[in-house]
Amino acid sequence: MGRVIAAVDIGGTFSDLVALDLETGRLTNVKVPSTPPTFIEGVMDALRQAGFPPERLVAFKHGSTIATNAIIQRRGAPTGLLTTRGFRDVLEAGRSDRPDLFALGWDPNPPLVLRRNRLVATEKVDYEGQPIVPLAEEDVRAAARAFAKRGIEAVAVCFINSFMNPVHEQAARKILAQELPGVFITCSGEILPEMREFERMSTATVNAYVGPILDRYLDGLTAAMRDWGYRGDILIIHSGGGVTTADAARTIPARTCQSGPAGGVIGGALIGRLAGFPNVITFDIGGTSTDLALVHQGQPLTQAGWKVEFRIPIRFPTIDVISIGAGGGSIAWIDRGGTLKNGPHSAGARPGPACYGQGGTEPTNTDANLVLGRLNPATFLGGRMRIDLELARDAIRTKIADFYGMSVEEAAEGIVRVANANMVNGTRLISVERGYDPREFALVAFGGGGPLHAVDVARQLNIPRVVVPRYPGLASAFGQLQVEMRHDYLRPILSREREVDVDRVNRIYEELEQQARAAMLAQGVRARSVRLARTMDVKYFPQATALSIPIRAGRLGRRDIARIVRTFLERHQQEFGYTIPPEFVDVELVNARLTATAPTVTGRLPRQPERGPARAARTGVRPVYFGGRGWLRATVYDRARLRNGARLDGPAIVEQADSTTVLPPGVTAVVDPYLNLIVDLEAIL
């Protein structure tokens, strides 16, 4: 046994540990029940069960839903908000929109800070950052007095135009810190110097709201890890698809929300790269949802922000993941007009699909796949879970088939088709709508359900290859092991291209780089390990959304600015199909952005070049139902026995404890040296 790296991901129900022995390449997976409210016992249970001593652990990465859950369940710290006089309701107003066009019955969720705790101070900074009305310090003191009496534990400070000049926010913070010792204080312009008051205020408020919660959690976890004997860093996974040290995470706790999907995307990207596909769409199907992301030239697509809930945006760069309500437990139902729907309601873990025999009577995707012969009752979850075909058939017959006068098989096939159609639309959103052609990508299918649906979804989008990793159920956790250190920085430029002061742009990038290097240094990263990548947000002046343009390192000149504009015009043409010559409309340079990354200890998946024929893994033949073809005899293979070079022809089913792969007639699949299954769809496109 050698040095080990490990990642633990805390979910609402289970905590997952994955560990990689760097010498042997052996992967260990431990699943234990999560232990709310502190969750720490679950992490320690998983570490102890994994069976390696603390001194062998050389890197520990950790993702959790603690911050996200605190928001969703409204169990964050009692939080106050201090803002510019006259702007007390910005947080609650949000952008004033509703999610559906004809939905006067809809209610926004309550804001994280109620109106009574949103207090104001007189001050004004103009749009260029000039203070024009001084901060009324007595207002800040009055607010502090009220917050103190009300038991407020965290305060967000967000003044109008503070992204151009945070001077008043900083002054207010100084007073609040004096008056409210021990209270967690966040200034919006410091964590997010970006235009648009609501989005910045929301981000700062989330930061304050979860700050004390994350602090307490990290205190507890650090102590428990020390007691166990681990002395190294606890690296916290964040929404940007990177890790940061625990201490850095405490200053921007809002970034630790949404760490879950990042692991899957990074795992999918890595598996794609090993299999020879730098362009992949990751396709992760769990019990309640399908997560889709796009990786171009090895880099996951990111976006400038995301939303925890409809009215709670967090404007930190985030891996662009589209989540749709279609998973194994999603329920099929017939609406009032008589058409078949699938999801987003889910049977969840309890009662679960009808075939689980836990009292569920609604037909789910899992039930449909069972009826179609795609899942095997004998080997489901490695035989650890008994599932009942007759219960699945009953649910589909009574709820769906009888209504349409169809056979149970036809109804089950219909359920899967509707689910797949929803997944196809989601895949189009993450690819076509972002300006990428899915035909140039491979679909990497993982999660328990990904390999069941992937080939059919790929076929509908003319995606020629599907990659199924050796352990689809572990792909996401494996991805977490591979996450690098990452920090993102942002400063407004907000200048028309014709009028831009290039020296100022250079100064901004230099300052951002100093800031990034200092932060990395403080986290124990050597200067030469730090990689810096610059981008710039660029748009036509009147537009609301910008495109992110990569920028070269070093001092920029006028010609670089011209090159940035040219790249912007090309990208605009590519994504939106037209451009307007800059003579007619100004191009605006909006934000300077910098991403700093540094390697962490990561491991490699071992190559397993030993060859073997497919027939050695053959376990039998069974009837499987395929739409338009009816019942066909499909060869069944045991994934554990498939070796490098094996070639499989559809119709076939590949079974393993954590997933099942469906190969329809006409496709072939080969096993590569990493034991990935590479499915070739060319013959059926």
Partner 1 sequence: MRAGRQRGSRPTRPAAGGRREIAGMDPITFEVLRNGFRAACTEGSTLLERVAYGPVITEGHDYAVGLLTADGRLVGHGTRDITPHMGTFEASVRCVLEDFETIRPGDAFLMNDPYRGGTHTLDVRLIRPIFRQGELFAFTVACTHWSDVGGPMPGTFNPQATEVFAEGLVLPPLKVYDQDRPVGPVLNLLKLNVRVPYERMGDLAGMYQAVRLMERRLLEYAGKYGARTVLRAFEEIMDYSERVFRREVREIPDGTYEFVDYADADEGAPGHPRIKFHCKLIIAGDRVTVDWTESDDAPRGPAGLTLPGLLSATYDGTLNCFPHLAPLNHGIIRALDVRTRPGSCVHVLHPTPMAGYCAGGYEKADHAVLCAWGMAFARLDPNRVYAGTVNLENCCVGGVDPRTGRRFVSYTWLEGGQGARADRDGPSFMMPMYAAGATNLSVEVLERWYPFQFLACEGVPDSAGDGRFRGGLGTRKVWRMLGEGVNSIHGDRELIGPPGLAGGRNGGPNRLVLNAGRPDEQRLGMFATGVPLRPGDEIHFFSNGGGGYGNPLERDPARVLDDVIDEVISLEKARDVYGVAIRVIDPEALRYEIDTGETARLRRELASRPVPVGYGPGEVHPYGAKLVAR
Q: Between residue 404 and residue 443, which ones bind partner 1 under the rule CB under 8 A?
A: 404-406, 410, 413-414, 417-418, 421-422, 425, 428, 432-433
Report which DSSP code applies to 521. Answer: H
> Closer CB to partner 1, residue 101 or residue 378?
101
- In the region spanning residues 335 to 374, those forming contacts with partner 1, defined by CB under 8 A, are 335-341
Q: Which long-range contacts (CB under 8 A, 24 or more apart) does 116-119 make?
A: 117/78, 117/79, 117/80, 117/81, 117/147, 117/150, 117/152, 118/80, 118/81, 118/83, 118/88, 118/89, 118/91, 118/92, 119/80, 119/81, 119/82, 119/83, 119/88, 119/143, 119/146, 119/147
> Closer CB to partner 1, residue 120 or residue 519?
120
Position 307 contacts partner 1 (CB under 8 A):
yes
CB of 78 closer than 8 Å to CB of 150: yes
For every residue of 143-197, DSSP letters joined together read HHHHHHHTT--EEEEE-TTTTT--HHHHHHHHHHHHHSTT-EEEEHHHH---S-H
- In the region spanning residues 149 to 168, those forming contacts with partner 1, defined by CB under 8 A, are 149-150, 160-161, 163
Q: 167-179 and 137-149 helices cross at what angle (nearest 10)?
A: 40
> Closer CB to partner 1, residue 199 or residue 672?
199
**With 0-12 CB in 10 A as exposed, 13-18 as middle and 19+ as buried, what is 423?**
buried
- In the region spanning residues 526 to 545, those forming contacts with partner 1, defined by CB under 8 A, are 540, 542-545
Part in contact with partner 1 (CB under 8 A); list of ranges 55-63, 329-337, 518-526, 600-608: 329-337
> Closer CB to partner 1, residue 196 or residue 517?
196
- CA 643/CA 39 separation, integer angstroms: 40
Q: Binder to partner 1 among 96, 181, 182, 378 (CB under 8 A)? A: 96
Residue 469: closest CA among 273, 237, 619: 273
- In the region spanning residues 198 to 217, those forming contacts with partner 1, defined by CB under 8 A, are 198
Position 102 contacts partner 1 (CB under 8 A):
yes
> Closer CB to partner 1, residue 116 or residue 633?
116
CB of 623 closer than 8 Å to CB of 373: yes
Position 146 contacts partner 1 (CB under 8 A):
yes
Site mask, partner 1, residues 451-490, x = CB under 8 A?
----------------------------------------
Q: In whole angstroms, how close is the CB of 580 to partner 1 at the nearest point?
A: 6
Backbone angles phi, psi at 124, to 5 degrees: -155, 130
Q: Binder to partner 1 among 33, 36, 37, 86 (CB under 8 A)? A: 86
Distance between start and end Cα atoms, the chain: 47
Both structure tokens of 673: 């040296």
- In the region spanning residues 643 to 682, those forming contacts with partner 1, defined by CB under 8 A, are none
The distance from CA 412 to its chain's CA centroid, rounded to whole angstroms, is 31
- CA 639/CA 307 separation, integer angstroms: 39
Q: Binder to partner 1 among 103, 182, 558, 559 (CB under 8 A)? A: 103
Q: How far is CA 351 from CA 253, 342, 355, 657, in A?
A: 34, 17, 10, 21
- CA 208/CA 166 separation, integer angstroms: 17
- In the region spanning residues 169 to 198, those forming contacts with partner 1, defined by CB under 8 A, are 195-198
CB of 653 closer than 8 Å to CB of 638: no
Part in contact with partner 1 (CB under 8 A); list of ranges 121-129, 207-215, 229-237, 242-250: 121-129
> Closer CB to partner 1, residue 198 or residue 625?
198
Part in contact with partner 1 (CB under 8 A); list of ranges 334-342, 363-371, 473-481, 510-518: 334-342
Position 628 contacts partner 1 (CB under 8 A):
no
Q: Binder to partner 1 among 73, 99, 182, 558 (CB under 8 A)? A: 99
Q: Binder to partner 1 among 42, 63, 76, 94 (CB under 8 A)? A: 94
Q: Binder to partner 1 among 100, 181, 378, 559 (CB under 8 A)? A: 100
- In the region spanning residues 47 to 76, those forming contacts with partner 1, defined by CB under 8 A, are 72
Position 108 contacts partner 1 (CB under 8 A):
yes
Both structure tokens of 491: 């400063």
> Closer CB to partner 1, residue 432 or residue 522?
432
Q: In whole angstroms, how close is the CB of 94 to partner 1 at the nearest point?
A: 7
Site size for partner 1 (CB under 8 A)? 86
- CA 121/CA 175 separation, integer angstroms: 12
Q: In whole angstroms, how close is the CB of 500 to partner 1 at the nearest point?
A: 15
Q: In whole angstroms, how close is the CB of 374 to partner 1 at the nearest point?
A: 17
- CB atoms < 10 A from the CB of 620, how many? 11
Position 89 contacts partner 1 (CB under 8 A):
yes
Q: In whole angstroms, how close is the CB of 577 to partner 1 at the nearest point?
A: 5
Q: Binder to partner 1 among 114, 518, 522, 640 (CB under 8 A)? A: 114
Position 580 contacts partner 1 (CB under 8 A):
yes
- CB atoms < 10 A from the CB of 581, how many? 7
CA dihedral 606, 612, 615, 618 (to 10 degrees): -30
- In the region spanning residues 487 to 516, those forming contacts with partner 1, defined by CB under 8 A, are 494
> Closer CB to partner 1, residue 510 or residue 575?
575
- CA 17/CA 259 separation, integer angstroms: 15
> Closer CB to partner 1, residue 182 or residue 542?
542
Q: In whole angstroms, how close is the CB of 321 to partner 1 at the nearest point?
A: 10
